[in-house]
Structure 1
Amino acid sequence: MARGRPSKKQHIIAVASQLFAKYGYQGTSIDLVVREAQVSKPTVYNNFPSKQALLQELISEQTVLAQALYQQLLTTDTLHFSEKIHHLYQQLIDNPVALAIYKIHYGESHKLEESSVLLCRQFELQLTQCCEQILIEAKHNAAQRLAIISIYKNCLLNCTLSAQIPPSAAELKLHLQVLGLTVVN
């Protein structure tokens, strides 16, 4: 029976991921997970003692997946720094589960345990650190790095979270050029 547990656990996480992406933290109940995953409530609780534990597992999985993507992108030498950063944010906004983590973090963190909030912050921090690394390699100073990351975060992530159409990579690169932020020191 031990062989079935990991697959059941992964199935529960996959279903819960979709539900958190669609309904948020508060809108996703364990009963809904049970119904949609077509498993028993004891099966869910045997794998996850609480909804918080389920969310934390989901955030941890997404953090590992994102880290692998970031490492791969950091080793890519053929892209301009703005293309790398745009790619990072595009990957994020194309991933409904990652977006759900941001929505829960920004909109529902008051309902979360501190450990869940810390995992959300860690998820966001690794994106910021990856952007920082790309910009350090492109020889941008601290003020330029802050400005560039802020522009991308606002234009791509916040637009998406607000249900607005984010600007294209070319538009963002043009904004950076207008502000003089594409010049390498």
Structure 2
Amino acid sequence: MARGRPSKKAHIVKSARGLFTQQGYQSTSIDQVVATAGVSKPTVYSNFPTKLVLWEAVFAELIEESQYEMQAVLDGLNTHAKQDFFTGWVKLWETWLGLPERVRVYRILLGEQHKMMASTLLMFDEFEGVLDSALLAWLGHFSMSPNTLFILKAVTKEAILTPVLMNRASMSATELKRQLDPLLVL
């Protein structure tokens, strides 16, 4: 392999990532991946024996990138002293949902989980764990119980994530703050 050139495997993953996150899992075929990547079908199958294995490689890459991005946001929040809880909380959620690929992961897993193997569902837990870890780290800077995380997440998911998944307007930050205010004094 030439220096500086991505491997064929990485190129296939990149091509498949674009297709999966634009079209979904079911609507993406290996033939489309072959055409987009500009490689042969045997090349794809020698690296990824099934479409699900390819999806898991895409998913693993997205999880890793998400970990770095969320840590960078946390680092930024931590450097700004006197950051209030709500501002940081919303920033973490906005960052998480700001990448359309992450929203697509929810749609794929919610709509097509019956086609996924247990390993993919475990990866989804790891995926959501990236957000959970960032939220819990942020919560740790304030005098709130970690048990409060469950309630805060439930309200925020209902206000922000669910509407995004349903292509509806999310609750405004002002309304979300009003909903969370009783919890923030716990």
CA RMSD, aligned part only? 2.2
- Letter in structure 2 aligned against 1:181: L
Residue 134 of structure 2 is matched in structure 1 by 130
Give 3-state SS (helix, strand or coil) of 1:181's partner: helix
- For residues 109 and 123 of structure 1, the distance between their equivalents in structure 2, rounded to whole angstroms, comes to 14
**How far is the alpha carbon of 1:73 from its aligned partner?**
2.8
Residue 32 of structure 1 is matched in structure 2 by 32
For residues 96-132 of structure 1, the C-alpha deviation after alignment (integer angstroms, 9 at most, x for no partner) is: 2211211122221110111111111110122123212
Q: Does 1:111 align with 2:109?
A: no
- Letter in structure 1 aligned against 2:25: Y
State the structure with bigger RCO (CA 8 A, min sep 6), 1 or 2: 1
Residue 72 of structure 1 is matched in structure 2 by 72
Residue of 139, 154, 173 corresponding to 1:150: 154
For residues 144-177 of structure 1, the C-alpha deviation after alignment (integer angstroms, 9 at most, x for no partner) is: 3222111112221111111111123333223222
- Letter in structure 2 aligned against 1:86: V
For residues 19-42 of structure 1, the C-alpha deviation after alignment (integer angstroms, 9 at most, x for no partner) is: 112221111111111122222212
Residue 45 of structure 2 is matched in structure 1 by 45
Residue 160 of structure 1 is matched in structure 2 by 164
Contact 1:89 1:153 in 2 (8 A): no
Contact 1:83 1:169 in 2 (8 A): no
- For residues 116 and 5 of structure 1, the distance between their equivalents in structure 2, rounded to whole angstroms, comes to 29
Q: Percent identity?
A: 36
Q: Which moved more, 1:2-11 or 1:26-35?
A: 2-11
Give 3-state SS (helix, strand or coil) of 2:170's partner: coil
Give the length in aligned residue pairs.
Answer: 182
- For residues 118 and 2 of structure 1, the distance between their equivalents in structure 2, rounded to whole angstroms, comes to 35
**How far is the alpha carbon of 1:181 from its aligned partner?**
2.2
Give 3-state SS (helix, strand or coil) of 2:27's partner: coil
- For residues 117 and 5 of structure 1, the distance between their equivalents in structure 2, rounded to whole angstroms, comes to 32
**How far is the alpha carbon of 1:84 from its aligned partner?**
2.1
Query: Gaps spanning 5+ residues in structure 2: where?
Result: none
- Letter in structure 2 aligned against 1:102: Y
Q: Does 1:20 align with 2:24?
A: no
Map 1:85-96; keep pairs closer than 5 Å.
Answer: 85-96=89-100
Residue 98 of structure 1 is matched in structure 2 by 102
Residue 184 of structure 2 is matched in structure 1 by 182
